[in-house]
Every structure is written in structure tokens, then in C-alpha cells.
Amino acid sequence: MNEQVFLKKYDVCKYPKPSVTADISIFSIFDEGRKNYRKLPDKKLKVLLVKRGRPPFEGMYALPGGFLREHETLEQTAYRELLEETGVECNFLEQLKTYSTIGRDPRGWIITCAFMALIDGASIQVYGGDDATSAEWFQISFRETGCSENGIVWELVLEKDNIRLTALVQQADDAKYQAECPHFTVLEQNGLAFDHALLLADAICSLRRLIGRTNIAFELLPPMFTLSDLQQVYETVLDRKLLTPSFRRKIVELVEETDQFQETVGHRPSKLFMARCR
Amino acid sequence: MNEQVFLKKYDVCKYPKPSVTADISIFSIFDEGRKNYRKLPDKKLKVLLVKRGRPPFEGMYALPGGFLREHETLEQTAYRELLEETGVECNFLEQLKTYSTIGRDPRGWIITCAFMALIDGASIQVYGGDDATSAEWFQISFRETGCSENGIVWELVLEKDNIRLTALVQQADDAKYQAECPHFTVLEQNGLAFDHALLLADAICSLRRLIGRTNIAFELLPPMFTLSDLQQVYETVLDRKLLTPSFRRKIVELVEETDQFQETVGHRPSKLFMARCR
DNA sequence: TTAATAGTGTCTTTAAGACAATATGTT
DNA sequence: AACATATTGTCTTAAAGACACTATTAA
């Protein structure tokens, strides 16, 4: 029996198969209102969540996502679902991890491949006016809050106007140093659908790790930006202050100077930079 | 319609679904014969491959792996398939990435989740005698060989006795700094089944990256080891020499001294250490 | 002029690279 | 004694942390 004959007779359908979805944690950074004309606006890290209009978890919030279709890759699924569900066309999409825990989806046997997407906040606000979708940007807080006997506990808080979604996750003590990001288990979750608190906690960790080791910060900014903007992006993602001279020494090799400057700020205008392509 | 009623009526089978597999790159480090009683044996990084006994790719070599079954996670699939196909029970298994490129498997619509596993080479050789399986440890070489107009080209060579499997992969030039590991495309592959040259190239990159940032090196050694062994493991994985004083300064906080020493080596015996649990 | 941020200089501290020196078993 | 590796010391070089200082604009 040669290869061609074999393949003709091969029935890939004889075993039960899971459904496969892609879920996307899409992050962006927005300027929040400035206090006076001199001050720089604060930046906030946000994630786009969709209010579920049907069971299961009707009325709760979930990451955008959907089913893998024939003749498309998981990356294409992620891109398509993000566009369909939220109207966002992103140009940075990175696969993170596939979740296959038993019972993770009450609808049945469904595994999901998690993605991280990034988009420039300024480009979003332009199209943000139409309410065609129920997608909303939630401000993120994700911090260690203490230490249980089984490991460090982190609190995830997502806020949008009066809506407040929360989760408590625990960092596995064993294997603490075997993976680059901690392995979390969810202790509590309020207002978030499925296992999406876990997906989001993992995604935030990946974002914090990757921003220090790669170029992805530029995906969160418009093509031209100031070094202060760039530093604020790092600080907002990492949730801590950085020292400016040290930050600049490191970042200078990743950016290209332009001859343009900021205008009409209430202080010394900052030079504009671009990401260096190399 | 409440949630329970909805779920009872929900038919997860109405859309076509892919088959899902897990494939495992299992690495180990073996001592190769020493030249004389004084010299330390060389260490070699190896990967366990299985000769395919049926189409497609009959007679070629593939990563061990198999289909995800109902009521198991991908991690369980990986563990089970590794045990069934090769007899190896590993205690380090880490998910890497899910591959869903169209046409990646000639049998049909099959996506695969790639894993990396590590095991102590010394523990293997004990059981290595039985030829119950067709699994073989191949020595790995994975190096940059040049630069095409589209990016850096790497050569993967896998050797076991007279068998030599090779592949050429190209590192994507764009997005070079957006991911922690380069994105490869396969240019050529000889003797390797499916897209496993790609999976393996990615896995080797992940191994090289992770060994410098985590504790996983200890998984490649027995519970007690010398610091020279440990350094050799790093050097073998990274394919370059390290400076001993610098290496020791960094590693000392990850290990715990014992009061035992090597014996019957033709030179000053080395103190034995254990991984520090913290 | 003032408030606020932009941008640079430099000293200190820490880590990494490089190489040399000493230590200690087995044959 | 000689070999080969084990282990430590220290000088050099590079990077990161910390803080202070000067520069520049709109109101």
C-alpha cells in the first residue's frame, strides 16, 4: 500500500475530536484626562472584553474569540474573530498557550488557543464612537496581594465606569523557576466568563515579560512618539517607575530620531522618535 | 431560556472540527566515551525520534506524539504518548506552541500542540537496552550557516550511527525582535516527517532560551551533580563555552552544597551539589 | 517668571569578562 | 611526580542605579 492509496483510505474522522477556539487578550494603552494644561496625561493599560449576549455566562464578560474554521490557521481565527467581534484590526498577534483543562467550557469538549494582541490606543479612539459592538476597554490592575501557604496570591481587577470584574489567582510554588511566567490557578472570579481570568492573568504576565525582551512596546504607540511616551508605556505595563537616564541608555538603540517635535505642550517640547527597523 | 436548558440543547458537534495531537521534543544529555581515564567525557545533546512504521512518511523519523483523547488534557496526551511510544516517563513537560498551518499533515485537518520534555540522560541508559520500541536518540547540531536575502539560515543536523537527518530553516527577518525566539520557515528537510523539522527548530530555540532564564538545567542531570557537570550541560545546550568563574557566580544561588565528593576520577574530585528548592 | 517636563552628566554600585593562581585526587 | 580538573582571587570592562543639573516651552 503506497502513501497515496493510504491517504485516500485514511479516515481522520473516526476518533472523537474537540472543538477548538482562539481567544484574544488585546491590550492597549490610553491617555486618561490630564489635570491641567502643563501636566502629562496618565496612561492606563486596558484590555478589550465582550459582554456575553447568550448562555453560558450570559451577561458576564469574556475575551473576544471564536471557533477555528476549516482552511484557516489559529492565527487567522484570532485575527478574524477580533475583527468580527470588536471591529479591531490588529497588526500584532502572538500565540501564547493552549488550554485544554477538562470542564473548562460548560458547552462541552472545547480547547482554546490563547493569543495576545496589541494596538495603539490613539488609533482606537477614532473609531471608538460607534456602539456597534458590546466590546469595552477595561482598565487593568494585576498585583501581588499576599502569600498563602501554597504560594503568592495575585489580584486581578478590571474596571470600566461602574463595572468592576475581579479575580484572585495563586502562583504555583513548585515549578516556580521552571517556567518564565508563573503557573496560576484561579481561586475566585467575579464577572468573568469561562477560564478567562486565568487566560488574562497569563497574558498580562507574558506582556510584562515580553516588553522587556522584545520590541513590542512600539505596537502600543503611534508611528511617531516621544521617549517620555515610550517610557510611560513601559512603566504602565510593568506597573512601576523606571529611572529615565537608565531607560534612555537602553532604548536609544531601538529608536530612530526624527527632526520633529511635539507642539503646544505647556513645557519644553519633546523630540519625536520612530521605531528603528533593522 | 436559562443556562442549564441552553447547555442541554447545545450541540457542540454541528461544526466541523480538527483532529488535535500533541508532539514532544524530548531532550537529554549523554556522556560520550572518554578519551582516557583522566579526561572528562564529552556531553552531547540528543532528541528522541521515532521511526514511522506506516504511511504517511513511512520509514522517516518523527517526534513522538499522538491524538488528544476525550477526558484528557494536552499535557496528559503528551505524557501518555511519550510513555507509550518510547517508554520514557518524564517529569518535566512544558507546552511550547500550537501549529495549525493548512496542509501540515497529509492525513487531513490536524493541528498539533508542541511540547518540550527533559530527562536525565543517566537514568535513560539503564532502560535503553530493550529494543521494544523503534525510538532512537539522535545527536543534535543546530547552527547558523549563513544569511540569505530573506534572513539568517540555520542548519539542523540529527545523527545516530549512520543515520543523518537534516533540515535548513530560515529565520524571518521581519518581527525579528518582536518574539523571544525567531520565527522559522523550513527551506529543506531530509528524513524528517511532517513539519517536525520546524517543531524541533523551535523547540531547540526554546530550550536555549529557557536554560538561561529558569531552573530547567537540573532536569537534565541526576539529583546530585558537580558544578562542572552543570556547566557542561549549559555549554552543550548553548553550543558555546562559558567562563567558569562567571558561571559559578551566577549558579551558586540555585544550588545547595552537599558533603559528598566524586570518586575515582583521575584528578581532583569535585564536590557534589543538589538543586536548591525554594 | 513659573510650572512642568525634556534631556544630559556623572558618580556609585553591581554584574560580567578575562585570566591567573592555587588545590587535590589518581595513576 | 605529573596530569587533568576543581576552585578561588582579582583585575578589567560594561551595565545599571541614583541623583543632580541644565534646557525649553506655553501661559
Q: What is the mean pLDDT of residues B181-200?
A: 97
Any atom of strand D under 7 A from CB of A246? yes
- pLDDT surpasses 50 at B93: yes
pLDDT band, residue A198 (cuts 50/70/90)? very high
| CA–CA distance, A78 with A114 (Å, rounded to integer) | 9
- Crossing angle of helices A196-211 and A227-238, in 10° steps, is 140
Q: What rounded mean pLDDT belongs to chain B?
A: 91
Nearest to A89 by CA among A115, A113, A117, A66: A117
CA A195 to chain B, closest CA, distance in angstroms equals 15
Given this model, what pLDDT does residue B10 score? 61
Q: What is the mean pLDDT of residues B7-19?
A: 73
Beta strands in chain B (DSSP E): 19-32, 42-51, 61-62, 65-67, 92-99, 110-119, 135-148, 151-160, 163-171, 184-190, 225-226, 255-261, 271-275
Nearest to B111 by CA among A22, A74, A115, A77: A74
| CA–CA distance, A203 with A167 (Å, rounded to integer) | 14
pLDDT band, residue B77 (cuts 50/70/90)? very high
Given this model, what pLDDT does residue A134 score? 83
In sequence order, what are the residues at sequence separation of 6 or more whose Cβ sits closer than 8 angstroms to the Cβ of residue A4? none
Given this model, what pLDDT does residue A263 score? 85
State, as a whole number of angstroms, the distance between the CA of A272 and the C1' of D25.
Answer: 15
Interstrand relation of A110-120 and B19-32 (parallel, antiparallel or unpaired): unpaired
The percentage of chain B sitting over the pLDDT mark of 70, rounded to a whole number, equals: 90
Nearest to B179 by CA among A29, A64, A219: A219
| CA–CA distance, B172 with B167 (Å, rounded to integer) | 16
pLDDT band, residue A128 (cuts 50/70/90)? very low
Which residue lies nearest C20, CA-to-C1' measured? B245
Contact (CB<8Å) A178/B108: no
The B255-261 sheet, strands edge to edge: B225-226, B271-275, B255-261
What's the gap between Cα B249 and its chain centre? 27
- Between residue 210 and residue 249 of chain A, the positions with Cβ below 7 Å from nucleic chain C are 226-228, 244-245, 248
- pLDDT surpasses 50 at B129: no
B271 nearest nt, CA–C1': D6
| CA–CA distance, A16 with A19 (Å, rounded to integer) | 10
Cβ atoms of B155 and B168 within 8 Å: the answer is yes
How many residues make up chain B in this entry? 278
Any atom of strand C under 7 A from CB of A268? yes
Higher-confidence position of A264 and B200: B200
Contact (CB<8Å) A178/B94: yes
- pLDDT surpasses 90 at B127: no
Amino acid at B68: L
Q: What rounded mean pLDDT belongs to chain A?
A: 91
Given this model, what pLDDT does residue B38 score? 85
| CA–CA distance, A57 with A49 (Å, rounded to integer) | 13
- pLDDT surpasses 90 at B198: yes
pLDDT band, residue A129 (cuts 50/70/90)? very low
Given this model, what pLDDT does residue B3 score? 59
The percentage of chain A sitting over the pLDDT mark of 90, rounded to a whole number, equals: 79
Cell of B259: 558533603
- pLDDT surpasses 50 at A66: yes
Mutation pick from B6, B8, B17 vs chain A, by most beta carbons of A within 10 Å, is B17
Poorest-confidence range of A237-246, B28-37, B231-240? Answer: B28-37
Q: Who among B12, B68, B210 is closest to A180 (CB)?
A: B210
Contact (CB<8Å) B15/A67: yes
Residue with cell 494644561: A37
Interstrand relation of A61-62 and A65-67 (parallel, antiparallel or unpaired): unpaired
CA A4 to chain B, closest CA, distance in angstroms equals 8
Nearest to A193 by CA among A38, A77, A65, A75: A65
Cβ atoms of A162 and A138 within 8 Å: the answer is no
Q: What is the mean pLDDT of residues A73-101?
A: 96
Cβ atoms of A231 and A250 within 8 Å: the answer is no
| CA–CA distance, A79 with A88 (Å, rounded to integer) | 9
**If residue A85 lies in a helix (H) or strand (E), which one and from where to where?**
helix A74-86
B chain contacts of residue A214, beta-carbon cutoff 8 Å: 177-180
- pLDDT surpasses 50 at A107: yes
Poorest-confidence range of A35-49, B103-117, B190-204, B230-244? Answer: A35-49
| CA–CA distance, A43 with A46 (Å, rounded to integer) | 10
